[in-house]
Amino acid sequence: MTEEKEVRLRAVAAGISDVGLQRDHNEDSFAILNDQELYVVADGMGGHRAGDVASRLATDAIVDFFRATAVEDVTWPFHFDSRLSEEENRLLTGIRIANRQIIERSTRLRECHGMGTTVVGALFSARKRRMFIGHVGDSRAYRIRDGEIRLMTRDHSLVNDYLLAMPELTDEQRSELPKNVITRALGMQDHVTVDLQSDECQQGDLYVLCSDGLSGMIDDQEILSVVLNTPDLQDACRRLVGMANEHGGEDNITAVIVRIGADPSESSGAEAAAPSAAEAGKTGSAAALGGDAEATGVAPSATPEAIAELPAGDEAPAAEAVAAEKDPAG
């Protein structure tokens, strides 16, 4: 009896960022790095339009680090943590470097003082058949499997901390808790604690990374329904953003969807041709990417969306929390 060969998995992703209906500029950013199977969403905050600087710094810093360590895995200037996997170390280090760069920029430039950003990153390993997730703040990661949706991250928010400490609070008491206050973000302290976890992947799994402009406007079951009923990932991202705007669009909205499927190169032996370099990585414009291309997206002021599409644990201990209030107007 011959043993059935295990199917090699591959990630395919799409992303979109939208300014929403009540903001005049977008402080969200996202990045999709195909050759590394890396996906990042960041939601910036800070006065004088510095939130968009912080979120873009975060996505760029993480992408740059992964490019620099594509051949040789290093974690400099941080020590390699032997308790963590290679993938977790890389994800952790990329986020820590982003935190350092944001703090350096906010210290150096007066207009950037006090800026910060949330971040959620997902790194897929086809060899290990696992998705590694790291996050800081209230940007989320969901997994959809077998018709069910599961929140993979825990919001680092004042509301969530209260509910964990006092689960007996009544609905009325919960409604009085301050909103828009996060207790952990990049740019707040020299040391940032990143929650890490890994998830064993199955063929057909879908992962949704998003800013709170999406998760705060539509509930988990609505996200599940849209993603399950929209096979095209780019269309699914558009529908999620459209639904959030239909519910008021109170914040910037960013969504990245990652599908885990069989690697077509094993059966076809051929890859789709990649577009020209000029099409890749544009900010505030649509791009369809393939091969080893990178997509980054930030929707600029008064423009509808930035779109990018391409083929493509164990929780860390909590640290000291620092409260940072998200600007309700920007």
Structure tokens at 51: 């939130």
Q: Are strands 294-297 and 324-325 parallel, antiparallel or unpaired?
A: unpaired
Reported CATH class of domain 9-325: alpha beta
Could you tell me where the DSSP H helices lie in the chain?
50-68, 86-108, 158-165, 171-175, 212-215, 220-228, 233-246, 265-268
Q: Please determine, for residue 328, whether its predicted confidence score (pLDDT) is greater than 60.
A: no
Q: What is the mean pLDDT of the chain?
A: 82
For the segment 135-147, what is each residue's pLDDT rounded down to a tens digit? 999 999 999 999 9
For the segment 166-192, what is each residue's pLDDT rounded down to a tens digit? 888 887 887 777 777 889 999 999 999
Angle of the 86-108 helix axis to the 50-68 helix axis, nearest 10: 140
Tell me the residue length of the chain.
Answer: 330
- In this predicted structure, which of 29-33, 106-110, 240-244 has the lowest mean pLDDT? 106-110
Reported in sequence order, the residue ranges of the chain that DSSP labels E, i.e. its strands, are: 9-18, 28-33, 38-45, 116-125, 130-136, 140-145, 148-151, 181-182, 195-200, 206-210, 253-262, 287-288, 294-297, 306-310, 324-325
Rounded CA-CA distance 202/288 in Å is 26
Percent of the chain at pLDDT > 70 equals 78
For the whole model, what pTM was predicted? 0.83
For the segment 93-129, what is each residue's pLDDT rounded down to a tens digit? 999 999 999 999 999 998 899 999 999 999 999 999 9
Q: Which residues contact 167 (CB under 8 A, 6 or more apart)?
A: none
